[in-house]
Amino acid sequence: MEKNERRGMRRNKRPSKPKICRFCESKVEYIDFKDAETLKRFQTEKGKIMPRRVTGTCLQHQKMLAIAVKRARIISLVF
Ligand SMILES: [Zn+2]
């Protein structure tokens, strides 16, 4: 018997980071573009929308978020 069980080793940089969509968690069906506080939470300091791999938002909500942010930009709520 040899100890050959080291094959499946993976380097996980941040194993404790949760990947749950915040909108799904609170059962949001529509993201209001007037809700600047929520939108800002998903933006960088420069006003870019954070990518899904960072926030963990699901595709459905990420699309909604992008639309909401773009609308908010028009009325100068967010950058
Ligand atoms: Zn979601």
Residue 3 has pLDDT above 90, yes or no: no
Residue 50 CA to ligand 1 centre (angstroms): 14
Tell me: pLDDT of 76 over 70.
yes
Superfamily classification of domain 22-74: Ribosomal protein S18 (4.10.640.10)
pLDDT tens-digit series, residues 11-56? 666 555 668 999 999 999 999 999 999 999 999 999 999 999 999 9
Whether the model pTM is above 0.95: no
Domain boundaries, the chain: 22-74
- CA 2 / ligand 1 centre spacing (Å): 46
Pairwise CA distance, residues 31 & 43, whole Å: 14
Give me 79's structure tokens.
Answer: 């950058």
Per-residue confidence (pLDDT) for residue 9, from 0 to 100: 64
Q: Cβ(20)–Cβ(28) under 8 Å?
A: no
Dist. CA 10 → ligand 1 center (Å) = 28
Amino acid 19: pLDDT: 81
pLDDT at residue 12, as a whole number:
64
9 C-alpha to ligand 1 centroid (Å): 31
pLDDT at 52: 95
Q: How far is CA 5 from CA 1, 2, 8, 10, 11, in A?
A: 11, 9, 7, 13, 16
Distance CA 35, CA 41 (A): 11
Ligand 1 center to 52 CA (angstroms)? 11
